[in-house]
Amino acid sequence: MKSDFLFYPLFREEIDRLSRNSGRKEAGYLLRIENRTELSDPILDIILSCQIPEKFYYSARDDLFELGGLGSALNIEAAGEDEILNGFSWLWDADETIPVFGGFSFDEEPSSPEWEPFGRFRFTLPLVEIRRSPEGVRISVNCVNKKEMSRAQVCRELADALQSLDALTRNFPKEFQPAVADRQLIPDKPQWNRMIKKALRTIREGELKKIVLARKKVITHRDLWNPAQIIASLSRIQENSFTFFYQVDDGIAFLGRSPERLFRMQNGQILTEAIAGTRPRGKTPFDDQRLEAELLSSPKELEEHRFVAGFIEAGMNRLCADVRMESREEILKLQNVQHIVTRFSGRAHSSFSPLSVAAAFHPTPAVGGLPQEEIRSCLRRHEPFRRGWYAAPIGWMNRRNAEFAVGIRSALVNGKALHIFAGAGIVSQSNAHAEWSETEKKMDNFAAIMKER
Ligand SMILES: C=C(O[C@H]1C=CC=C(C(=O)O)[C@@H]1O)C(=O)O
């Protein structure tokens, strides 16, 4: 698999023209050039073929929007949302539509070493941004003048960066045959049973109504994992889902196919949804229909779902006017599982920043639990590993618009280790064995690409 797309030829003329234009020193200045173009290669192939350490890719669940990025013109890692917004505010003063890609960790406590490269909050303005929307494909290049260089010097830096990028395009094998050296389940099945028992006790005692407990499989490769191959294989699965890929360094990436939108914000309109309640897909259409009917009539699954829907609706009522339930308790069919989904829309009361909207919803009871205030400390007590960016918001934003998926059906690749995550909502009627099987099903896309089944 390889894309032969070259960036420098597309921008050479404009860079030459701009470099002849001015000798002024302009500190903090962004040089951004946008180009509309046709692409014969898929954006993901272009992103994955380039061997630059930092890159990202995002595609919306409806497939109408894609955003890819190569390299980094400005990377902001921070402990809080204000630092992120302040760090990009000069950029958005120049053009408030410029998107940056990133996310933040599930909770605020320091994470474990494997997550260190991601930090608490991290967003990237890439060197090259490729964006596809219904209006067409636009490729933009960004160069931030941090060193008070003259315009001609900035142009030279940009030209050099694009030429180096073009030289980094490589072929990578489409076939994916990992050489697995070790597999570890954290927790293992007996530990999981004990976790669920303890969670059910906490629910019975009235401290919690619902808690979403997660587990992970750590699969160790004999050599290093190639995150590009993992996301390339995952993306080929027909799945009603967002695709996300955030590689922060060579061999270190958070990636996945998530069915769940945290929210989308566009021109003051907010769309969000509750996804919770699960059954496997059936082996035949008849069986599938039976499981769907079972899901929609199960008091346990409906309770699990309604905790989430009620929470989201209350959040929407705080943030928005004209809140509407766009659909109620419908079925979302995925490759291996089906869920109950309820969708909401509303008009934001004021011009909230995307990160404040993300913070208002995260963590929803689809990935945390209820009551929300206690859930992060509760999870730290119940789960035997740190979540890092699993189940946290991941996506893109500019000053006013954004879309964040919930980072589930996901994995962290770090060197030789691949950490695959899945969680399940525990309510008073949950059963440890059934929840274990459900999390197995939720990890099945990964099992399929590794031909583990
Ligand atoms: C927490 C996960 O799924 C959530 C989303 C949909 C259905 C869920 C459930 O039925 O338990 C979970 O709340 C996960 O996949 O890791």
Which atom of ligand 1 is the closest one to the Cα of 390?
Answer: 16
Nearest to 128 by CA among 39, 27, 63: 39
State residue 283's pLDDT score.
Answer: 96
Question: Using CA atoms, how far apart are residues 111 and 41, in angstroms rounded to an integer?
Answer: 38
* Nearest-5° Cα angle at 265, 264 to 267: 145
State residue 453's pLDDT score.
Answer: 42
- Averaged pLDDT score across all residues of the chain: 94
State residue 326's pLDDT score.
Answer: 98
Q: Is 175 annotated as a binding residue?
A: no
Residue 408 CB–ligand 1 contact under 6 Å: yes
Q: Are 395 and 419 in contact (CB under 8 A)?
A: no
Average pLDDT over residues 66-93: 96
Residue 212 CB–ligand 1 contact under 6 Å: yes
Average pLDDT over residues 312-317: 98
**ipTM for this prediction:** 0.99
Positions of CATH 3.60.120.10 in the chain: 8-166, 180-449
Checking if the pLDDT of 27 tops 70, the result is no
Taking each helix axis from N to C terminus, what angle separates 151-166 and 8-19, rounded to the nearest 10 degrees?
Answer: 170
Ligand 1 center from residue 389 Cα (angstroms): 15
For the question of residue 209 being annotated catalytic, the response is no
State residue 25's pLDDT score.
Answer: 59
Rg of the chain, C-alpha, whole Å: 22
Under the banding of pLDDT at 50, 70 and 90, the label for residue 350 is confident
Letter for the amino acid at 189?
Answer: K
Checking if the pLDDT of 345 tops 70, the result is yes
What are the distances in angstroms from CA 213 to CA 224, 387, 414? 29, 11, 23
Q: Which long-range contacts (CB under 8 A, 24 or more apart) does 62-67 make?
A: 64/133, 64/134, 65/131, 65/132, 65/133, 65/403, 66/130, 66/131, 66/132, 67/99, 67/101, 67/129, 67/130, 67/131, 67/132, 67/396
Question: Using CA atoms, how far apart are residues 125 and 257, in angstroms rounded to an integer?
Answer: 22
Checking if the pLDDT of 362 tops 80, the result is yes
Sheet (strand 402-406) strand order: 74-78, 121-125, 100-104, 393-397, 402-406, 261-266, 269-280, 337-348, 320-333
Give 124-153 pLDDT, tens digit per residue: 999 999 999 999 999 999 999 888 888 889
Checking if the pLDDT of 155 tops 90, the result is yes
Give 69-80 pLDDT, tens digit per residue: 999 999 999 999
For the question of residue 210 being annotated catalytic, the response is yes
Give 186-213 pLDDT, tens digit per residue: 999 999 999 999 999 999 999 899 999 9
Question: b/e map of 205-223 (b: 16 or more CB within 10 Å)?
Answer: eeebebbbbbbbbbbebee
> Which CATH number, 3.20.20.70, 3.60.120.10, 1.10.579.10, 3.60.20.40, labels domain 8-166?
3.60.120.10
Choice among 36-40, 232-236, 252-256, 391-395 with the minimum mean pLDDT: 36-40
Give 264-293 pLDDT, tens digit per residue: 999 999 999 999 999 999 999 999 999 999
Q: Are 139 and 35 in contact (CB under 8 A)?
A: yes
Q: Which residue shows structure tokens 């896309």?
A: 445
State residue 256's pLDDT score.
Answer: 98
What CATH topology corresponds to 180-449? Anthranilate synthase (3.60.120)
Nearest to 211 by CA among 323, 106, 367: 367
State residue 111's pLDDT score.
Answer: 83
End-to-end CA distance of the chain: 25
Checking if the pLDDT of 24 tops 80, the result is no
State residue 6's pLDDT score.
Answer: 92
Residue from 55, 66, 129, 210 carrying the catalytic annotation: 210
Q: Is 304 annotated as a binding residue?
A: yes
Under the banding of pLDDT at 50, 70 and 90, the label for residue 254 is very high
Q: Which residue shows structure tokens 């630059």?
A: 52
